[in-house]
């Protein structure tokens, strides 16, 4: 069986329920008696009466009364031993959205804490957004921001989503698949990030079943086929492990289990395996009393069954970021069957299953932070920082998806502190994980005392030392290899800030140049005239206007004409320009809003012209560029420019060198270029006829004179037949 199946999976799956098993308020109250004070149970019951009255007459798509859904959500929370206010908020979580009950009403009846929880969980569907995707993104963004105030918001939301997934069969096919995809991309990873394993597993399997029903059914059928044949093996392993642990006087609970369907599918897909090639379909969990016993148990297990080399992980010494702790090992069981074993203490097991929710299991009503709470709140603080730097809700939600990627790498700072990063992280990701200022100023790094490039991918156990330099700043090319959201958003934020500052400076230069033609300047324009123009253009401040001019969204001459009106015989008129335009001087320090065209790569000394590209600023072209015919059709977008003779920056250009195919010719040319104090940014070789080749060098030069000297030096090489520069 192959892991991929035809995408036309529109078959209904028989085991997709439309209505879950009825769970009445009496059942909920009976369950709550196992851990809640009777007075608090009365509060929960009062919330039920209030919610039932508020939702009176409302039904779910399946036809059942709506109130059954909030009770089921509260039951999921009760299984995690959540506190009274969480249960009340779960029962009332839809009253603000679906009824006439307001937040103030809830605050008056159940207190501010419950009102805030319900408000945070509400779906916020009435959003002024352009499209459905943006509405969902903004809704999710607001939900995460509500989480920052109280982590219980997301616990309730996850429970709400879990029950909706359990009863998704009543929904139309397309809506079912959309909700399932959202669940797999967002909600299941969040549950994993918060360590809520049992919620994650259910969300993943239900999401998979609804998104790819045929694939789900095929894997289920394959599991059913092997279940009988492997049942005896599982029982045998359980007995042998349990017997050996008792011989060593180690008290332990041994639980054999089947890996959940979505994890099997992911392994098949990622490793391109057939189902029959998945060896560790079954796993064992061994629960003991203390961390010390975990390690003793591991030694006993390895004595019973031989471990697979390289498949051991110690998450007790180095916990996952979601607080998960356990020892993992893969063993070779009877008949060569691979078996995964997880060894953990009772407390570790509770945290592994409930994650952040285990906080309330041990400290009901006490909201003081434990380790999992600290980790979760740190993650939420990072989300808030990310939200501030994101350009839009859609960009924010895409960043969150990347941040929820579960694989991790563990590296060390020079002082021995462990840093946990996403798998595939680079030196730059590590630098930003330390601090944004360190990332911005990073110029290189030492990995295990060896100098390495900034793009080097980090591996487990490495010690990384970041080297910074005053005045250094992020490079846009970093975005091509960083993987962590903190690094990506920090780099984008810096570049966006630079672009905004540079666009304001360029806009001011352009506007002042245009106003000079009227024998005036910006400071001489009356305040009310400027304010009126800003209002007309829906801009809040002068800097915004200058930025719009610098980015090419408004023409400086047209803005200048509108800023210098005079009255002639009572009629509104404008002054006419009295002075010729002064060309705009170009330097190499304005790279964010003044860009060199890649089609012709102009350098100082070339005859050039500028073309405004809306949102990007000015693009500089060589006057002999082949694209000039296109720009001649839009003379209103031209700007007169010339090189600043004092500029000492370096510019990129391309030269084509035709050479005879002889050993070492590339090295000779490269040495000649280096000898003339030029850096090679890129090299590309094209074979011509077997006897000769064309080498295309991308170089950094100061001006045409510098380039001419380089080309003259290269012509002295005997194997060089022809050399010329690309100009588009």
DSSP state letter for 460: T
Concerning whether 97 is annotated as a catalytic residue, the answer is yes
Question: Distance (Å, rounded) from C-alpha 468 to C-alpha 174?
Answer: 52
CA–CA–CA angle 551, 555, 556 (5° rounding): 95
Largest CA distance in the chain: 111
* Residue 91 CB coordination number (10 Å): 30
- Of 228, 258, 252, residue with least CA distance to 240: 252
- What backbone phi and psi angles, to 5 degrees, belong to 439? -65, -45
Concerning whether 521 is annotated as a catalytic residue, the answer is no
- What backbone phi and psi angles, to 5 degrees, belong to 256? -90, 140
Three-class SS state of 501: helix
Question: Distance (Å, rounded) from C-alpha 114 to C-alpha 634?
Answer: 61
- Of 458, 447, 497, residue with least CA distance to 481: 458
Element spanning 282, H or E: strand 282-288
The residues near 283 (Cβ < 8 Å, ≥ 6 apart) are 256, 257, 258, 259, 339, 340, 341, 342
- Of 35, 34, 71, residue with least CA distance to 52: 71
Question: Distance (Å, rounded) from C-alpha 180 to C-alpha 187?
Answer: 10
The residues near 520 (Cβ < 8 Å, ≥ 6 apart) are 564
- Token pair of 390 as six digits: 């994101």
Report CA torsion sign: 132, 133, 137, 143: positive
Q: Which of 98, 465, 543, 658 is catalytic?
A: 98
How distant, in Å, are the alpha carbons of 7, 168, 184, 402, 661 from that of 177?
12, 10, 11, 21, 58
- What backbone phi and psi angles, to 5 degrees, belong to 720? -85, 120
- Token pair of 458 as six digits: 């980090």
Element spanning 498, H or E: helix 485-516
Percent helix, strand and coil across the chain, each to the nearest 5: 50, 15, 35
The residues near 468 (Cβ < 8 Å, ≥ 6 apart) are 431, 438, 441, 442, 443
Question: Distance (Å, rounded) from C-alpha 364 to C-alpha 134?
Answer: 38
- Of 694, 686, 710, residue with least CA distance to 660: 694
- What backbone phi and psi angles, to 5 degrees, belong to 313? -135, 135
Q: Which of 97, 238, 258, 644 is catalytic?
A: 97
E strands, 481-632, are: 565-568, 571-574, 584-586, 594-596, 608-613, 617-622
Question: Distance (Å, rounded) from C-alpha 362 to C-alpha 348?
Answer: 12
Token pair 């953990």 is at which residue? 344
Question: Distance (Å, rounded) from C-alpha 165 to C-alpha 16?
Answer: 9
Catalytic residues: 97-98
């Amino acid at each position: 069986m192959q892991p991929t199946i035809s995408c036309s999976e529109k078959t209904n799956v028989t085991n997709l329920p439309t209505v879950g098993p009825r769970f009445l308020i009496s059942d909920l109250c009976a369950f709550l008696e196992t851990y809640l004070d009777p007075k608090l149970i009365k509060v929960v019951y009062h919330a039920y009466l209030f919610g039932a009255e508020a939702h009176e007459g409302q039904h779910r798509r399946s036809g059942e009364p709506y109130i059954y859904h909030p009770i089921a959500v509260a039951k999921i929370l009760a299984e995690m031993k959540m506190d009274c206010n969480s249960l009340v908020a779960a029962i009332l979580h839809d009253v603000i959205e679906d009824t006439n009950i307001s937040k103030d009403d809830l605050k008056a009846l159940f207190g501010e804490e419950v009102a805030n929880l319900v408000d945070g969980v509400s779906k916020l569907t009435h959003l002024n957004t352009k499209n459905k995707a943006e509405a969902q993104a903004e809704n999710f963004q607001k939900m995460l921001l509500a989480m920052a105030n109280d982590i219980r918001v997301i616990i309730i939301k996850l429970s709400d989503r879990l029950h909706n997934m359990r009863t998704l069969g009543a929904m139309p096919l397309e809506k079912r698949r959309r909700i399932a995809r959202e669940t797999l991309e967002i909600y299941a990873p969040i549950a994993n990030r918060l360590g809520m394993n049992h919620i994650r597993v259910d969300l993943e399997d239900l999401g998979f079943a609804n998104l790819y029903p045929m694939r789900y059914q095929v894997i289920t059928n394959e599991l059913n086929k092997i279940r009988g044949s492997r049942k005896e093996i599982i029982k045998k392993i359980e007995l042998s492990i349990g017997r050996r642990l008792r011989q060593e006087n180690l008290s332990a609970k041994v639980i054999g289990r089947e890996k959940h369907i979505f994890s099997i599918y992911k392994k098949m897909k990622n490793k391109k395996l057939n189902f029959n090639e998945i060896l560790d379909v079954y796993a064992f969990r061994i629960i003991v009393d203390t961390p010390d016993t975990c390690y003793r148990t591991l030694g006993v297990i390895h004595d019973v069954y031989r471990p697979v080399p390289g498949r051991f992980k110690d998450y007790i010494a180095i916990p996952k970021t979601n607080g998960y702790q356990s020892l993992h090992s893969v063993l070779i069981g009877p008949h060569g069957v691979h078996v995964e074993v997880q060894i953990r203490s009772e407390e570790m097991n509770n945290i592994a299953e409930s994650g952040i929710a285990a906080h309330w299991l041990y400290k009901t009503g006490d909201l003081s932070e434990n380790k999992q709470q600290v980790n979760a709140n740190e993650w939420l603080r990072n989300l808030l920082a990310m939200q501030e730097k994101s350009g839009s809700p859609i960009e924010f939600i895409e960043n969150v998806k990347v941040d929820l990627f579960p694989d991790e790498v563990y590296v060390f700072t020079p002082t021995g502190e462990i840093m946990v990063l996403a798998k595939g992280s680079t030196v730059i990701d590590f630098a930003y994980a330390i601090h944004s200022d360190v990332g911005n100023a990073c110029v290189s790094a030492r990995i295990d005392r060896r100098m390495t490039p900034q793009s080097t991918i980090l591996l487990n156990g490495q010690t990384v030392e970041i080297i910074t330099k005053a005045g250094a700043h992020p490079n846009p090319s970093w975005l091509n290899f960083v993987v962590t959201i903190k690094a990506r958003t920090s780099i984008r934020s810096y570049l966006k800030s630079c672009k905004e500052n540079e666009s304001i400076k360029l806009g001011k230069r352009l506007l002042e140049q245009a106003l000079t033609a009227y024998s005036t300047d910006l400071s001489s324009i009356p305040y009310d005239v400027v304010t009126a123009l800003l209002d007309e253009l829906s801009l809040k401040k002068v800097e915004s206007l200058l930025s719009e001019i610098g980015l090419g969204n408004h023409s400086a001459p047209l803005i200048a004409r509108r800023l210098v009106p005079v009255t002639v015989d009572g009629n509104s008129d404008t002054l006419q320009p009295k002075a010729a335009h002064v060309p705009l001087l170009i330097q190499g320090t304005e790279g964010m809003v003044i860009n060199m065209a890649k089609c012709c790569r102009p350098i100082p000394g070339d005859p050039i012209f500028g073309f405004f590209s809306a949102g990007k600023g000015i693009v500089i072209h060589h006057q002999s560029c082949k694209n000039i015919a296109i720009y001649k059709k839009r003379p209103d977008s031209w700007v007169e420019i010339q090189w600043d003779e004092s500029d000492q920056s370096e510019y990129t250009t391309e030269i084509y060198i035709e050479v005879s195919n002889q050993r070492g010719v590339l090295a000779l040319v490269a040495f000649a270029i280096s000898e003339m104090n030029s850096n090679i940014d890129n090299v590309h070789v094209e074979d011509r006829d077997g006897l000769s080749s064309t080498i295309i060098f991308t170089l950094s030069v100061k001006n045409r004179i510098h380039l001419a000297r380089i080309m003259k030096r290269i012509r002295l090489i005997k194997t060089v037949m022809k050399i010329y520069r690309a100009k588009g």
